[in-house]
């Protein structure tokens, strides 16, 4: 549990420096951090190998890589379709 708390605070930028003020804001920030943690686990569950250890940073990196790769593929497909339309016209 302590490891999860440290990961949420450091890797998801929810340390003490990030949240100041009233108790409700702190609870809200912690709730957002937990949701982000769960979203990463859900989105990158295939990266988690039960026989190996993993960190939230590894999952973040995998998600960033996947998003960037998908964006590049989308842009290339769009350009190829536009080029094909111009060529066929």
The string of DSSP codes covering the chain is -HHHHHHHHHHTT-STTT--SSHHHHHHHHHHHHHHHHHHHHHTGGG--TTS---HHHHHHHHHHHHHHHHHHHHHHHHHHHHHHHHH-
In angstroms, the first-to-last Cα distance of the chain is 62
- Express as a percent the part of the chain with pLDDT over 90: 17
Cβ–Cβ < 8 Å for 57, 10: no
pLDDT band at residue 78 using 50, 70 and 90 as cut-offs: confident
User: Distances from the Cα of 71 to the Cαs of 7, 43, 68, in angstroms?
Assistant: 28, 16, 5
- The model's pLDDT over 45-76, given as tens digits with 9 standing for 90+, comes to 888 888 988 888 888 899 999 999 999 999 88
Q: Pick the residue with more confidence: 73 or 17?
A: 73
């Amino acid at each position: 549990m302590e490891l999860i708390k440290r990961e949420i605070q450091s890797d998801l930028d929810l340390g003490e420096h990030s949240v100041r003020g009233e108790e409700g804001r702190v609870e809200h920030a912690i709730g957002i951090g937990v949701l982000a943690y769960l979203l990463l686990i859900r989105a990158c569950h295939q990266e988690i190998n039960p026989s190996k250890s993993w960190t939230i940073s590894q999952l973040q990196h995998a998600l960033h890589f996947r998003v960037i790769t998908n964006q590049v593929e989308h842009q290339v497909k769009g350009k190829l379709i536009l080029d094909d339309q111009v060529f066929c016209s």
